[in-house]
Structure 1
Amino acid sequence: MPKPLVIVESPTKARTIARFLGDNYVVESSVGHIRDLPRSAKDIPASAKSEPWSRLGVNVDDNFAPLYIIPNEKKEQVKKLKTLLKDANELYLATDEDREGESIAWHLLEVLKPSIPIHRMVFHEITDGAIAQALASPRELDQHLVNAQEARRILDRLYGYEVSPVLWKKVMPRLSAGRVQSPAARLLVERERERMQFRSSSYADLEATLAASDEDREFRARLTHLDGRRVAQGRDFLPTGGLTPGADEQGVVALSHGEATLLAAALDGSVFRVARVEQKPYRRSPSAPFMTSTLQQEAGRRLRFSSSRTMSVAQRLYERGFITYMRTDSVILSGEALAESRRIIAARFGDNEVPPSPRVFRSKIKNAQEAHEAIRPAGDRWRAPDELDGQLSGDELRLYELIWRRTLASQMKDAVGVVVSVTIEAGLMSAVLELSAGDRVTFASSGRVITSPGFFRIYQENPDENEDTQDLPQVEAGQELIERGIEVVDHVTNPPARYTEATLVKALEERGIGRPSTYASIISTLLDRGYAWKKGQALVPSFVAFAVVQLMERYFAHLVNYDFTAQLEDDLDDIASGEREAVPYLRQFYFGVEGGGLKDEVLTQLGEIDARMVNTVPIGTTDDGREIVVRVGRYGPYIQLDDRTASVPDTLTPDELTVEGALALLSASEVKERHLGDLDGVPVLARLGRYGGYVQLGEGDGKELKRASLFPTMSVESVTLEEAKALLSLPRLVGVDPETNQEIFAQNGRFGPYITRGRESRSLEKPEEIFTIGLAEALEKFKEPKRRGARRASSVELGIDPEGDTKVVLRSGRFGPYVTDGKVNASVPRGMDPTEVTLEQALDLLNERRAKLNNDRG
């Protein structure tokens, strides 16, 4: 008997919806987009290969008609959907209710060509009630949303396919440019430039420990004024060093450590007296419920999740019916959600914590798309995190709890209290720093007392944004205080912080660049393309990113202009709302009004680009005025001074590459050979060869000389004679296998450290294990299964994925180390030591890669 066919985009979502719909419906997944533009030349049909526009995959001469193809990996799924459609009496397209979901639904109609009744079924949470309501009130396909997504896809294709080849020719192969990716890279580079120009300043102040009486608790007060002149703080210094202009005229005093020490001595024995006490009311309102960007920011700050990891986990929570749709610009809660949040607050904290009326939030983001709700727990009755034992665990439980707490907090009362500020004066006991004995110095202290915690009871705001929370004793003006110590506190100004994933998302959001659903894939692209790498949580731009940004700023300035990029988003939003037509807009972008569009701009600029200039990053000058630069070459960045060159280490950040550091690297690179000492009268040399550093017993280049490669942690200029002797002593006899009577040796090889027993071998995880592994450990290694092939010899099994029950392995690949679970591969980022990768880190990398692949469906 025919049944309705329901098509969603995700297999997980299909399984969840099938549970609600039961046996009366057939639910199947499209597994993302079933059609897309060609990804490479081999995807272009033979009929289109000769066309001048075929490399773009868009017929720019025929109203920008896209050339859609069904990728090979989707053909089986399309065949399956067509088979299911033959036995269906109705078709429900239940893809996500955003532009991407609308586009997937449209592509399904274009390919399947159903002859049965068609319904567009939309919902923002996967619950019984939401599914029932969606079935009862389907709508028509929104062609404006389809047009907007298609225009976005075509515009991104034109931008990337026209500008990227310029980068290949002028910087290096395999680079890419993108409408949002390139401005995002510019943000990272601009911040790193600020850090490179930064010059730290040091200053000092005093901190007094005081008490109101012998019985009262101690509190701290900081020096603020010297005889009416303000003591300098960090904000008074320029990023390039020295006080800000006008600080001297304003009487700002910058204290050195020595001056602060003298001042502390001059205060010894002084009377500290309260000059003024001020109380101000304190009130803090809760933040809005999560939308996509704020969820990524908070998950990054609180849970240390990357944006990709956050979206991957949120996708699973949504598809399993625990939260509402996770791609939204909205901070609005439905009436049902407001009622449920107020019910939970009253039940858990009492009616007094429920505001008289629900809070209503509005997005502050430019052109916010508020068709959906905010991200919140799904269902009519929200499940508390402690009620989900056995249903959620790990990342999913942690992210769900964050969403649950933030949603409830948004509907609780304000946190209320008072802020107390105390001004304290003391007289100098002796003259110092052009001050006379008896001159007054001023200290200040502040504290906060929360009288009604309100939403703080469930969701603490960022403590870095809060006032000093120390408790102050009851004091009054004129009261004398007990001084229990004066400490000199030294300070050094810090450069502007690098972007993290969370702060980059915030910066993109504030500038109107991109959309929440794209932030995770933007950051993944920056990392995958080598434009950035991670140092802890910070995103460090590479010198390749410097070269690309320099080229774009000089020759395609408007394409990386933040306002221009934001305007493109506005234009695409106008297409989505039906206020603008897609084809005329694309024609203007690509061809211009009377020329001057992207096509002409690339043709015009290509011949003018000075490749040497854009690939050069100035570092500084030597004492005799010679310029030191970093050049980005085909094989990576290198330092150049006159005709001397040296490679830039992978782990060195651009702001760390000073003139002094560059000179040191140039000198080190010239050390081709060092005499370390003698072994039994024979010289021991450290030498730099074609494949890296090694030590050698004896002089000359004879093949009979004994040699040993240096470990990755060693260098020609730093290796010691003792280390060289140890290396030259290899292979090391570990012991004898008592069962086979075979000797076991540990040694270093082309593919890393390993042990041998006869003709058998096993890899070691770290080179240092060559000298530390014992017989018992070696025997255990030989019990492990043999991994065949030279490249697999350096594979390391990290453990079992607790969710997928699959082995996670670290391997050496053609393009560097990577981790894999047999289905997904993820590169180990620059700056992360492959020998130190843990199972947890590997799972994070795989989740991020999996999330990117899922996001790339659109």
Structure 2
Amino acid sequence: MAKALVIVESVAKTKTIGKFLGKDYTVKSSVGHIKDLPKQRLAVAVEDSFEPEYITIRGKGKILTELRKAAGDVDKVFIATDPDREGEAIARHLADEITARNENVLRVRFNEITERAVKEALRSPLPIDDNLVDAQKARRVVDRLVGYQVSPILWRTIFRGLSAGRVQSVALRLICEREDAIDHFVPEEYWTIAAELKGKKTAPFLANLVKIDGQKPELHSESEAQAIAAELRGQEFKVADLRKKKISRQPAPPFTTSTMQQEAAKRLGFTAKRIMMIAQQLYEGIELGEEGSVGLITYMRTDSIRVADEAVQAARELIARDYGLEYLPKTPPKYKAKAGAQDAHEAIRPTATQYAPKAIKKYLTDEQYRLYELIWQRFIASQMEAAVYEQTSIDITAGRCLLRVAGSIIVFRGFLQAFDDFKDEEDENGENSNVPTELTVGELLTLLDLHPEQHFTKPPARYSESSLIKELDALGIGRPSTYAMIISTLTARKYVEKQGRQLAPTELGRTVNRILIRQFPKIFNVEFTAFMEDELDKIETGKKDFLEVVQEFYQPFSRAVMAAEERKDVIKDELQETTEESCPKCERPLIIRWGRNGRFMACSGYPDCKFTRPLDSQEVATGETCENCGKEMVVKVGRYGRFIACSGYPDCKTAKPYPIGMACPKEGCTGQVVERRSKRGRTFYGCSRYPDCDFVTWNKPVKNPCPACGNPYTEERYTQAKGLHIRCPKCKHELESAPDEDYFEPAAGG
């Protein structure tokens, strides 16, 4: 019989850890949180110390019974949930449930799932950190208060079922404010001039006009540009200065959660949500043939750039062996952590240098391999020598004008040998590697041609997932574990839509944002949200207590909620738009109102007159042609959601359900999974070959097999405890369970 029970929160971790510990240990999983706040009531004692009223999550009773029984059969219980606030909260809830059966309950933490790390943690157990537990509890309570007290205001002013989240709403504000800046941007014309020149021993090259009378050129019209060009044609072009210098470019530090998401989004094209799901798989363990399940990376939710000494030494040995001593710095590079970074965990790195990406490629999916390779290369590069460039700058005078040609070449690749880094944007100085090297100071040059070119200033770019994460991180909004959920929740709620890689607010998102910042200007702003993150950090470090932080938040918040409640009718009236059309039934003016499916036309005489009609909207082409009449098929939105219909309607009434881009997972079926709506308006998913195929599910299928049981698909699920996450419908294995904010869902039928 086993002497000790080890409890983790993930099924995948049980396999990886179980192989290290042998028959003296039993390893079981809680399958995530076991307790949470109930869905349909506030469950926070506002009048009594703000204590949350946790209940056992539906479906977790059986798991708890099994864990209690297992705890009663062993000498010790080790709780080995993730080493962060969420993991500590799970540990506290588990300990509270198990102590009655076994008082010898201990907490163990490790940053990587390796035999050395796990056994070392078991030798040095720690008490549960109640500061961490209280920090998680405070976040949960504050998010619940915001979600449950602000969301109903949106229901009463727009339509039922909308939500507001403490951090999510500030991210939405950033996206909307960027869109406003784009909408109001007025492009300004400007001109540049490049001279095509030739030296005695050089091929033709281009030099850019950089100064006129010692000042930056301000050419705002073609006539101004042509006047300077005419002046230049009469001048002598002479090399005035030639400068060369060597510059070093240091490698970037190993990944944090934020920088991993940014880089993987840019390089690999993955969404933040997908990046975190794959990283969790790499952390919890991958089957490597006869070796069994191996945790390949350290814990993936971190804002630390610290690296363990033994990992640094292993990387240095690999660099010396595989790249050569010239790539190995005399001492390991030192990196400065950003202000406010928590240093409890290491940076994200490979757990062992023996698992080189190419050596284990056959065991990984393509996505796992690409992300693991990125993490590996970034870590190895972080321990290498700097890259060295030779930078050349040549100044050329022509009367009162100064022209310049500049560029750089790599003379020593350094860390670029392992990680071929790239810059986000083109060099503003127009640097290139084709700088003429045969010129001398004082040399006269031949003017071959002048190239005036018209430009217009560009509006700010929309946020991508990568740039939004970078902005949230820089502003101190959210935490590494929340970035992916913030973005996926905004898109799931249809506040934001993806256009290519860009994030654009929908009309609904902009309306929600307008209401929130008008009614809660001090709550849904960057400074206050960053301040609250800092307050939660202070609870974690013991500088403040739970009650103090929540009370300081709630007092001004509750006053703002009361004021918004009093103005809800005014807000609703402000959202209505008048039109010049008259109601065909009663001839009163038609107005534009909000409903569950967006804006619609309605009679201003409601409820005496109930006339409504859809607001004309642009139909989206699908690229398909109608099988009956040959006209283009388009996406439409009707009473029961999206569907595909013939653009020839009403002459042709061909229509079919909206496909989600996934083949039916039922063996032998050739159909596609399509989106449907029930008579009560709830979205579900079924096979396009119904009734020949009976595949159906309430949750959106995802075309990725379950890594635990091999089921051909997984599903997107939404719960109060975990927000939007991925789960296998067969074995219930969860691929991601990052914490989410609170949303007050209307009761069924309400």
TM-score tier (shorter):
0.7 to 0.9
State the AA in 2 paired with 1:461: D
Match of 1:222 among 202, 208, 214: 208
Give me the whole-angstrom Cα distance separating, in 1, the residues matched to 2:601 and 2:463: 25
Match of 1:191 among 178, 185, 193: 178
What displacement does 1:411 show?
1.6
Matches within 5 A, 1:113-192: 113=99, 114-192=101-179
What displacement does 1:823 show?
4.2
Change (3 A) 1:707 1:303: closer
What displacement does 1:392 show?
2.3
What displacement does 1:616 show?
7.0
Matches within 5 A, 1:307-456: 307-320=272-285, 321-364=295-338, 366-379=339-352, 381-426=353-398, 441-456=401-416
Whether the 8 Å contact between 2:240 and 2:442 is mirrored in structure 1 is yes
Change (3 A) 1:853 1:464: closer
Whether the 8 Å contact between 1:332 and 1:362 is mirrored in structure 2 is no
Change (3 A) 1:334 1:634: same
What displacement does 1:469 show?
3.2
Change (3 A) 1:223 1:129: same
State the AA in 2 paired with 1:316: Q
Change (3 A) 1:35 1:539: same
The aligned residue for residue 260 of structure 2 is 295
Whether the 8 Å contact between 1:751 and 1:790 is mirrored in structure 2 is no
Give me the whole-angstrom Cα distance separating, in 1, the residues matched to 2:358 and 2:77: 39
State the AA in 2 paired with 1:255: S
Give the gaps of 5 or more residues in structure 2. Answer: 286-294, 579-590, 606-612, 638-645, 660-668, 675-686, 719-725, 728-732, 743-750
Give me the whole-angstrom Cα distance separating, in 2, the residues matched to 1:63 and 1:171: 33
Change (3 A) 1:350 1:638: farther
Helix, strand or coil for the counterpart of 1:273? Answer: strand
Change (3 A) 1:84 1:797: closer
Matches within 5 A, 1:427-826: 441-464=401-424, 467=427, 468-474=431-437, 475-590=439-554, 592=555, 597-609=556-568, 610-612=570-572, 615=575, 634-637=596-599, 646-649=615-618, 711-712=633-634, 748-751=654-657, 786-788=689-691, 801=705, 821=713, 823-824=715-716
Whether the 8 Å contact between 1:184 and 1:508 is mirrored in structure 2 is yes
What displacement does 1:635 show?
3.5
Aligned-pair Cα RMSD in Å = 4.0
Give me the whole-angstrom Cα distance separating, in 2, the residues matched to 1:193 and 1:853: 34
State the AA in 1 paired with 2:305: V
The count of aligned residue pairs is 661
What displacement does 1:551 show?
1.7
What displacement does 1:478 show?
2.1
Q: Does 1:253 find its partner at 2:240? A: no
1:102-146 C-alpha deviation (Å, 9 max, x unpaired) = 111111112233325222111101111111111111111111111
Helix, strand or coil for the counterpart of 1:599? Answer: helix
Give the gaps of 5 or more residues in structure 1. Answer: 41-54, 232-251, 427-438, 619-628, 653-693, 696-705, 716-722, 731-746, 754-760, 767-783, 809-820, 827-841, 844-848
What displacement does 1:298 show?
0.9
What displacement does 1:303 show?
1.2
Give me the whole-angstrom Cα distance separating, in 2, the residues matched to 1:496 and 1:791: 49
State the AA in 1 paired with 2:571: A
Give me the whole-angstrom Cα distance separating, in 2, the residues matched to 1:148 and 1:513: 16
Give me the whole-angstrom Cα distance separating, in 2, the residues matched to 1:203 and 1:531: 36
What displacement does 1:324 show?
0.5
Give me the whole-angstrom Cα distance separating, in 2, the residues matched to 1:81 and 1:499: 45
Give me the whole-angstrom Cα distance separating, in 2, the residues matched to 1:726 and 1:151: 55
Whether the 8 Å contact between 1:548 and 1:614 is mirrored in structure 2 is no
Matches within 5 A, 1:68-147: 68-113=54-99, 114-147=101-134
Give me the whole-angstrom Cα distance separating, in 2, the residues matched to 1:30 and 1:764: 35
Q: Greater relative contact order: 1 or 2 (C-alpha under 8 angstroms, separation 6 or more)?
A: 2
State the AA in 2 paired with 1:536: G
State the AA in 2 paired with 1:314: A
Give me the whole-angstrom Cα distance separating, in 2, the residues matched to 1:145 and 1:825: 27
Give me the whole-angstrom Cα distance separating, in 1, the residues matched to 2:365 and 2:714: 23
Whether the 8 Å contact between 2:631 and 2:647 is mirrored in structure 1 is no
Give me the whole-angstrom Cα distance separating, in 2, the residues matched to 1:156 and 1:399: 32
Helix, strand or coil for the counterpart of 2:87? Answer: helix
State the AA in 1 paired with 2:388: V
Give me the whole-angstrom Cα distance separating, in 1, the residues matched to 2:409 and 2:492: 48
1:695-714 C-alpha deviation (Å, 9 max, x unpaired) = 9xxxxxxxxxx999973179
1:817-845 C-alpha deviation (Å, 9 max, x unpaired) = xxxx364479xxxxxxxxxxxxxxx99xx
> Which moved further from structure 2: 476-485 or 27-36?
476-485
What displacement does 1:371 show?
0.8
Whether the 8 Å contact between 1:751 and 1:791 is mirrored in structure 2 is no
Whether the 8 Å contact between 2:135 and 2:546 is mirrored in structure 1 is yes
Whether the 8 Å contact between 2:6 and 2:79 is mirrored in structure 1 is yes
1:541-586 C-alpha deviation (Å, 9 max, x unpaired) = 1222222222222221111121111111111111111222212332
1:787-834 C-alpha deviation (Å, 9 max, x unpaired) = 3179989x99998859689787xxxxxxxxxxxx364479xxxxxxxx
Q: Does 1:65 find its partner at 2:51? A: yes
Change (3 A) 1:459 1:56: same
Give me the whole-angstrom Cα distance separating, in 2, the residues matched to 1:570 and 1:764: 48
Give me the whole-angstrom Cα distance separating, in 2, the residues matched to 1:341 and 1:97: 24
State the AA in 2 paired with 1:377: P
Helix, strand or coil for the counterpart of 1:149? Answer: helix
Whether the 8 Å contact between 1:521 and 1:852 is mirrored in structure 2 is no
1:769-801 C-alpha deviation (Å, 9 max, x unpaired) = xxxxxxxxxxxxxxx9953179989x9999885
Helix, strand or coil for the counterpart of 1:557? Answer: coil
Structure ID, larger Rg: 1
Give me the whole-angstrom Cα distance separating, in 2, the residues matched to 1:824 and 1:582: 33
Give me the whole-angstrom Cα distance separating, in 1, the residues matched to 2:220 and 2:109: 63
Give me the whole-angstrom Cα distance separating, in 2, the residues matched to 1:612 and 1:714: 27
The aligned residue for residue 586 of structure 2 is none
Change (3 A) 1:572 1:464: closer
State the AA in 2 paired with 1:470: S
What displacement does 1:98 show?
0.9
The aligned residue for residue 661 of structure 1 is none
Give me the whole-angstrom Cα distance separating, in 2, the residues matched to 1:581 and 1:296: 32
> Which moved further from structure 2: 274-283 or 442-451?
274-283
State the AA in 2 paired with 1:100: E
Change (3 A) 1:587 1:383: same
TM-score, scaled relative to structure 2: 0.79
Helix, strand or coil for the counterpart of 2:478? Answer: coil
Identity of aligned residues (%): 37
